[in-house]
Amino acid sequence: MRALGLMSGTSMDGVDAAVVETDGETIAAFGPTAFAPYAPEDRALLRAALGRWPGEPGLDAVEARVRAAHAAAVRRFAGVEIVGFHGQTLAHEPRGRGTHQVGRGDLLARETGVPVVWDFRTADVASGGEGAPLVPFFHFACARRIGAEAPLAFLNLGGVGNVTWVDPRRPAPEAEGALVAFDTGPGNALIDDFLNQRLGRPLDEDGAVAAAGRVDETVLAALAAHPFIARKPPKSLDRQDFHGFLDRVAPLSTEDGAATLAALTVACVAEAARHFPEPVTRWLVCGGGRRNRTVMAMLAQRTNGEVAPVEAEGLDGDMLEAQAFAYLAVRVLRGLPTSAPATTGVRLPVSGGRISRPEE
């Protein structure tokens, strides 16, 4: 099928859209992509809504804006048979109130005239899972597509960091021993928020600010002692779970604060490798963090194995998550699992997601 995946991640920079031709098992081809940035006022609206749950006042305006941005993205593509719509995560508390991605797929289907698979995470949480990460099944398909023959790691550095350990020798992503996946800790969110506070910039371009600073090892040790780091997977984070640590770097210079937060992201990844069933010789990095040269250099120092952006294998590090939700949408249509015990902690492999059709 020709599927379109839509993703608005924890960085809240805009909507990624990508076409994948797939049967939900193998990737036949990658199609066109597009990115639609959020305007500053839209970012402000989304940031103000973080941590809020369904039914709270004022969320209708947020939902309408998110859906309008995604509908505009869908209209840029022709010949799409199914849309995978992730929505915008506002709150994630799998052991508490659940998970909340704002954006109604039923209305999106009516507005665009294309069937929509959405609400991917709720079924996983209801079945005892963390509801995240969901991209690992797609990572398995990518590992197969690039011809990998030994375990490797896909590291996504978005607002939150997450990693997938993949053994492509297994028969399917839900097979025992095929995958281990979990959130590692902060990705870019703390760095982005810190630079926004200090300089009014949305991110540390190329890691230049961090490169000019020195890591405060005392502050880093306190940050890295967060109980999440020591927890065994499966485990997942809300974007704001580490947000209080901005106060810890507040006394530092802008350069030293950025360097220390970059080192925190990398320290969390290095600790994550302790949970792999066997070591990897290769880390393929996607998400905005792969453009942060300081983070990438630190990763090369702290992890065993080659560290490279996914582009080294002909993949698109900006669009991998959007492509994943195209792939997952087709899996949902076919009734195939989208998560498993080793990826989210769900009791049994489960197929998440609701299907809404334009005529319904």
pLDDT for 222: 86
Distances (CA, A) of 11 to 104, 282, 320, 345: 20, 26, 15, 25
**Which amino acid is it at 21?**
E
Q: What is the 3-state secondary structure (H, E, C) of 16-33?
A: EEEEEEECCCCEEEEEEE
pLDDT for 12: 83
pLDDT for 130: 86
String of DSSP letters for 133-178: --THHHHHHHHHHTT--S-EEEEEESSEEEEEEE-TTSSSTTSTTS
pLDDT for 354: 96
| Residue 28: alpha-carbon gap to chain centroid | 23
pLDDT for 304: 85
**Which amino acid is it at 284?**
L
pLDDT for 158: 86
Tell me if 83 sits within 8 A of 115, measured CB to CB. Answer: yes
Hey, what are 268's tokens? Answer: 């969390």
- Tell me how long the chain is: 360
pLDDT along the chain (360 residues), means of 10: 92 92 98 94 91 90 95 97 96 84 96 97 91 93 97 93 96 96 92 95 95 96 85 82 88 98 95 94 94 97 94 95 97 97 94 94
pLDDT for 155: 97
Tell me if 161 sits within 8 A of 261, measured CB to CB. Answer: no
Phi and psi angles of residue 278, each rounded to the nearest 5 degrees, phi first: -150, 155
Question: Is the whole-model pTM more than 0.85?
Answer: yes
pLDDT for 294: 98
Hey, what are 283's tokens? Answer: 């880390």
Question: Across the strands, what pairs with 163?
Answer: 155, 182
Structural domains in the chain, CATH included, are 2-133+318-356 (3.30.420.40), 147-313 (3.30.420.40)
pLDDT for 242: 81
pLDDT for 226: 86
Task: Give the long-range contacts of residues 252-256, CB within 8 A, separation 24 or more.
Answer: 252/213, 252/216, 252/219, 253/213, 254/195, 254/198, 254/199, 254/209, 254/213, 255/209, 255/210, 255/212, 255/213, 255/214, 256/213, 256/214, 256/215, 256/216
pLDDT for 91: 87
